[in-house]
Amino acid sequence: MTKRPTGPASSNRKVLARHTTTLALATALTTATALGAYAQDISFWTQPQGDLLAYQDLFDELTSEFRDESGINVSVEVINWSVAFNTWLTVAQGGAAPDCADMYWLHSFSGIGAGRFGPMPITEYRDRWPTLEADFYEGALEDVHRNGEFYGIPWRVDIRPMMYRTDFLAEAGIDAPPDNWKEIVEQGLALTERDANGNVTRWGFAPGANNNPGQTLMPYYWQAGGLMMSEDGRTATIDNEAMRTTLKFMQDLVQVHKITSPEVFEKSADPLADFTSGSVAIIGSTNNSWPSQFDRDYAELEGTWALEINPAGPTGERDSFSGAGYWGVLYGSSDVEACLDWIEFLSQPEHMERISEVSGAASPRRSVMSSALWTQRPWQEVMAETLNYGHTSQHPSAVWNAIASPEPGAVLYDLVYNTVIGGADIDAAVTEAQARMQAELDRASGN
Amino acid sequence: MTRQKYLFCYLMVAPAMLITAALGIYPMLFSLWMSFVEYDLLRINEFGTPFVGLDNYVEVFSDPRFVQTLFNTIIFTILAVAATLGFGLLLSQVLNINYRGRTALRMLVCVPWFVPPAVASAIWMWLLNTDRSPINFLLQDFGLITSNVRWLTDSATWGPFSIPMMSIVAVRVWNGLPFAVIFLLAALQSIPRSLYEAAEVDGASLMQKFWYVTLPMLRPVLAILITLLVIGGLGSFEINYIMTGGGPQNLTNIMAVYSYQQAFSFFRFDLASASSGVIFLMTGFISIFYLRSQLKGVA
């Protein structure tokens, strides 16, 4: 049995060993910290589309592939849509922000951020996408430009073709859905049904698929040849014949022909339930997520519905409501280059196709919409074709989203609701709306 | 010893006071400050927040929508408080009597309280949907109506009343009734039986017992309950916002919804704060009366 050494020498060795261990640990920690500092980490926020878990899984895969390829670690946070608006409003005012993100409403959030917070222009890096115009739909690209600056890559597009019940049209002996406004009225009359007491059991036509009067108005107004404001976003241009024609058309649907429910703009209206239950035959401007939702959740309705390009207005235009979400960089980003690498990675055709497949959202990239993914079902082809008629729903003023807000008191809400539902005089309402909208534009442009 | 005792007490209440100050008082004061400056999100980066005095209050009171909203809020609160108290008094009396199944009934009465207002709104939106309302189907089956009642969308009015406003009030009462019932039931159980026995000896009828014994004994609790219900009614938000968004034609819009719209739809936090300031003034006024009466009671 060996006796352990004791005494001063042994004690010194212990002290030395302890110091050596401490030094080694400190060195290891310092090295790890230094390496950590060199590792590129960026944060990315996104709003979910389609199935949440599938969307999260996809981003897990994409970030992993990107890390292997570039060594950059992307931390993805999924922002629920219910809090998305308030989150981005806070970001635009200087609140906590990620390095880069999936964003929307460029004009408003950029206007509020005023070049200090929120979306950051990346015009100097635009060469990373040399064939942008050829690769993407024009309407979607408008949503990533502001005051001549480039802000990012559009990745999803909210395009709204017409949706109709094929079974009801067949019952009524109608061969094809309406091709113009006149046919909307004719078919709407043929498709509207009432019970013995005069209660409507099926409305022939609903102009839109949500209860937002401003959004509902837009495609019809464009189809009549109107524009909301001047290109610089400083002058309201709604006091014109196109607006009067549009409002008269919509007013007559409700008040004269009675083929549109007077409740379409109320919060309690439920267009999806109306369409699936057969309470509405045609929706003029549908929700872009519905078709994939119908494929997934309403298998029993297979063969009873279809999409078509929006009917032509009096000027022959078929403009469709369009709005794009985009990937962009934010002011205060810790690593702009890494963010651009990530966005460039995401915007590759094969990745955009995977994202479109999982999210179910139409892609603003032409190659995705012409791929096998988007040509399997007839409605997908219509959706892709409608993108050619896409008219951006965003306008070059920071106050646009207040003007088009779905709340009473907003300029377009009051204009449409008071005339179409309330039956107010169109001339007077348009004149008043023009003045109010101009005042709002002046407010945003600092006058 | 007394100083140490006070110090201990202050230390004990300090966390609660700090939280109240940070999450309650500071935001309230900040909101009040915003109501006296220009706080427009679209202009703030360029123009800052200049002091504008009472301009924001003048602007909201010049808006006919706000005036209608203010009026709606008062009507909504009066109707909701009156109905909650009326049904609350009736139900609490019923639940205070001894009979088989009383416990089950008490639980049933409490059920709406477990439903958050947002969920209650979604349920009632379906129940009151013009075309799919089971209530309409039932009324038609009984031959009481021939055309569907537009519970949430009928814009016809009778003075300050409309069907959507009454529907919203009904949902508010349904959701808030258990709170009043529990409050009143607890108060009823604390009334000594001897008082009722004495009244019976004097030959008092059922109504007389309620009027001369129950109501006076409930007075302190009723005062608290009315104050809380009125404050809750004036600041009410979820049900109106979710079910109607203030529509149709602003008939069900109330001040909290108006404030929300100004801030988050129109980016005017200054006008939203001025509108909230009016709610604050109204609730503050009621609270002062309540506190004064309570202090008198103590004295």
Q: Cβ neighbours of residue A148 under 8 Å, at least 6 residues apart?
A: A123
Average pLDDT over residues B66-92: 95
Pull the structure tokens for residue B298.
């103590």
Report residue B292's pLDDT band, with 50, 70 and 90 as the boundaries.
Answer: confident
Q: Among A142, A94, A86, which residue's Cα sits nearest to residue A118? A: A94
Q: With 50 as the cut, is the pLDDT of residue A2 above it?
A: no
Instruction: For residue A170, give every residue at least 6 positions away whose Cβ sits within 8 Å of its Cβ, in sequence order, or none.
Output: none
pLDDT at residue number B4? 87
Quick: pLDDT tens for A406-431. 999 999 999 999 999 999 999 999 99
CA dist A164 and A285 (Å) reads 10
Domains and CATH numbers, chain A: 42-159+322-392 (3.40.190.10), 162-318+396-444 (3.40.190.10)
Which of B34, B38, B42 has the highest number of chain A CBs within 10 A, making it the mutation to test binding with A? B42
pLDDT of residue B147: 87
The pLDDT of residue B94 is above 60: yes
Using only C-alpha atoms, what is the Rg of chain A? 28
Which of the four pLDDT bands, split at 50, 70 and 90, describes residue B279? very high
| Cα B240-B242-B248 angle, rounded to 5 deg | 60
Give the per-residue pLDDT at A20. Answer: 62
Min Cα distance A90 → chain B (Å) is 11
Chain A residue with the nearest C-alpha to that of B241: A267
According to DSSP, the β-strands at A40-46 and A100-103 are parallel
* CA distance from start to end of chain B: 28
**Average confidence (pLDDT) over A114-131:** 94
The reply to whether omega before A408 is within 30° of 0 (cis) is no
Quote the tokens at residue A72: 């950059």
Of A445 and A227, the one with more pLDDT: A227
Identify which of B46, B129, B147 has the shortest CB distance to residue A114.
Answer: B46
Instruction: Please give the angle made by the CA atoms of A268, A270 and A271, to the nearest 5 degrees.
Output: 140
* A188 vs A176: CA distance, rounded Å: 13
Mean pLDDT of chain B: 92
Q: What would the mean pLDDT of B161-180 be, rounded to a whole number?
A: 94
pLDDT in tens, A356-394: 999 989 999 999 999 999 998 999 999 999 999 999 999
How far is A125 from chain B, CA to nearest CA, in Å?
A: 27
- Write down the H helix ranges in A347-406: 349-359, 366-369, 378-386, 400-403
Structure tokens at A243: 């607006």
| Residue B297 confidence (pLDDT) | 62
- Least confident range from A5-14, A84-93, A119-128, A199-208: namely A5-14
What is the token pair recorded at A364?
């603003």
Residue pair A276/A301 in contact by the 8 Å Cβ criterion: yes
- Mean predicted lDDT score pLDDT of chain A: 91
Does the pLDDT of residue A36 top 50, yes or no?
A: no
Q: Which residues of A touch B (CB under 8 A)?
A: 85-86, 89, 92-93, 111-116, 197-199, 262-263, 265-268, 270, 273-274, 277, 279, 398-399, 402, 405-410, 417, 421-422, 443-444, 446
Task: Report the range of poorest mean pLDDT among A37-51, A166-180, B54-68, B160-174.
Answer: A37-51
* pLDDT above 50 for A158: yes
Instruction: Say if CB B254 and CB B260 are below 8 A apart.
Output: no
Q: Which residue of B has its CA nearest to A404?
A: B265
Q: For residue A299, is pLDDT > 70?
A: yes
Position A430 scores a pLDDT of 98
Least CB-CB distance to B42: which of A279, A421, A444? A444
Instruction: Test B153 with A263 for CB contact under 8 angstroms.
Output: yes
**What backbone torsions phi and psi does residue A333 show, to the nearest 5 degrees?**
-60, 135
Contacts A–B by Cβ distance under 8 A: 97
Q: Pick from A83, A234, A267, A440 the residue to mutate for testing the B interface (most B CBs within 10 Å).
A: A267
Residue A29 has pLDDT above 60, yes or no: no
**Secondary element (H or E) of residue A200:** strand A200-206
CB contact under 8 A, B41 and A89: yes
C-alpha to C-alpha distance for B233 and B269, rounded to whole angstroms: 22
Which conformational region is residue B204 in: left (phi greater than 0), alpha (psi within -120 to 50 degrees), or beta?
Answer: beta
A222-238 mean pLDDT: 96
Give the mean model confidence (pLDDT) for residues B48-57.
95
Give the burial string for B141-168 (b: 16+ CB within 10 Å, else e). Answer: eeeeeeebbbbbbbbeeeeeebbbbebb
Q: Is 0.90 surpassed by the pTM of this model?
A: no
Nearest by CB to B265, from A116, A263, A402: name it: A402
Question: Can you list the alpha helix ranges (DSSP code H) found in A39-123?
Answer: 52-70, 81-92, 106-113
Instruction: Give the confidence band of A35 by pLDDT, cuts at 50, 70, 90.
Output: very low
Range list of β-strands (E), chain B: 157-158, 161-162
Instruction: Determine the Cα–Cα distance for residues A272 and B270; give it in Å rounded to an integer.
Output: 37
| DSSP letter (8 states) at residue A2 | P
What is this model's ipTM?
Answer: 0.86
